[in-house]
Each structure stands twice: as C-alpha cells, then as structure tokens.
Amino acid sequence: MNIIQFLKNLLGFKKETQEDIMKKFLIVGLGNIGEKYNNTRHNIGFQIVNAFVKEHEETFSTDKLGDIAKLKIKGKTVIVLKPNTYMNLSGKAVQFWLKKENINVENLLVITDDLNIDFGKIRIKGKGSSGGHNGLKDIQEKFNTGAYPRFRFGVGNSYGRGKQVDYVLGEWNKEEQSEMIERIPFCVNAVTSFITAGLSNTMNEFNGK
C-alpha cells in the first residue's frame, strides 16, 4: 500500500468500486476559447455543453486544461469539460480528465461540429475516424484509437472552394440561429439520454433527426 492510499484509508476515503466507475461520465464539448469564437459553427460543442450544464442548474469553473462542471443525474456522476487548449490540442485535456476522474472510455462523449452532415442533424457513434476534424484527430492520436463515443452536429457545407476555414470559424446565419432555438434543447436531451439510457438507445432515438 502506498502512502497516498494509506492516508486515504486513515482519513476514511472509500476506494472506488467498479460499479462506482461505471456510474461516472465525461462529457466533452470541443471548441476554441475566446469571445470571438463563441457563436461560430466550430464551437457548437461548447454551445451544447453550456446548455446542458445550465439545464441541470450547474456552472463551470476554470480548472486544469479547461473549464469543468460537475453534476449528478439519476445517481450518476457527470464531469463536463470545455478544453482551453484550442481545438487542435483537445486530446491533452480529454486524456487528463479521463485519468484524473478514473472514467472508462465508453463513458466518454465528445461533441463536435461536422461539415459532412446537414445543418442541425446529429450523428452519435461509438467509434470512428477523425473525419478530418482537428479536435478528433488529436484525441485519436493521444488515445491511439478511434474507439470512443462521439456526437457530431451537422453544420453543413455551404461554402465555396477554399472557404472551409472561414465557414467553420464563421457565425451562424439568421436562419440557422432561429433553428438553433429548437436544436440545442434536442441535443441536450441526447446527451442526457447517453448518460441515462446508454449509447445504443441514444443512437436509435436521436441519430439523423
């Protein structure tokens, strides 16, 4: 027994059981920090987790490698992370908080934008490629696998040749903003379903809608 575990035992800390671990979740919204990015398509991950945390009447606080919120849903502990590492270094923050909180990778959900999906549609999967997304690419490189759940929000691809970066870093147009009033709560429900009903049930209920 090492000194840290000895002190925990002495102070009455309970060692986490496998059942405890299975009840812990890490929900990650990907985005770029800074006010100028707040309402951009690339920051939909931040927008969804902001709404999710607000729905459950909690708030974020700044911690190592990102902003963190902690909440309980039906007996399950949920850690919500907004990395502050910028998009292309997201994996460092995700890896750190998975290890720190002792969370299984199947209880991780990474939320991001996707150019290959029509605006407003969502696609949740248990594994996959990065699809050219820099945030997912860095996570995959850090994990050395693409086998982790991800939640892609379609932002469409209505941009001209060479304008992809401008498009994803651009703000929602008025029509999109109007539709987001309904789409964001829908996404919050999908995240809650992932935690309470599991990946398979959530995919069946929400994918493509």
Question: Per-residue pLDDT tens for 54-70?
Answer: 999 999 999 999 999 99
What end-to-end distance do the CA atoms of the chain give, in Å? 51
- Provide the pairing of β-strand 108-114 with 76-83: unpaired
Q: Is 50 annotated as a binding residue?
A: no
Q: How many residues does the chain have?
A: 209
The residues that are catalytic are 42
* CA–CA gap between residue 191 and residue 186 (Å, rounded): 9
The answer to whether 107 is a known ligand-binding residue is no
The answer on whether 134 is annotated among ligand-binding residues is yes
Mean pLDDT of successive 10-residue stretches along the chain, which has 209 residues: 56 65 93 94 98 97 97 96 94 96 96 96 95 93 95 92 92 96 97 98 95
Query: Would you say 37 is a known binding-site residue?
Result: yes
Output the six-digit token pair for 68. Answer: 């963190």
Name all domains of the chain by residue range, CATH numbers in brackets: 23-206 (3.40.50.1470)
Q: Which helix (H) or strand (E) holds 125?
A: strand 122-125
Instruction: Determine the number of helices (DSSP H) and then strands (DSSP E) in the chain.
Output: 8, 7
Q: What is the pLDDT of residue 191?
A: 98
Residue 95 has a pLDDT of 96
Which backbone phi and psi does 185 adopt, to 5 degrees? -60, -35
What is the number of alpha carbons within 13 Å of residue 40 lying toward its C-beta? 19
Q: What is the pLDDT of residue 113?
A: 96
Tokens found for residue 183: 């789409």
The per-residue pLDDT for 20 is 73
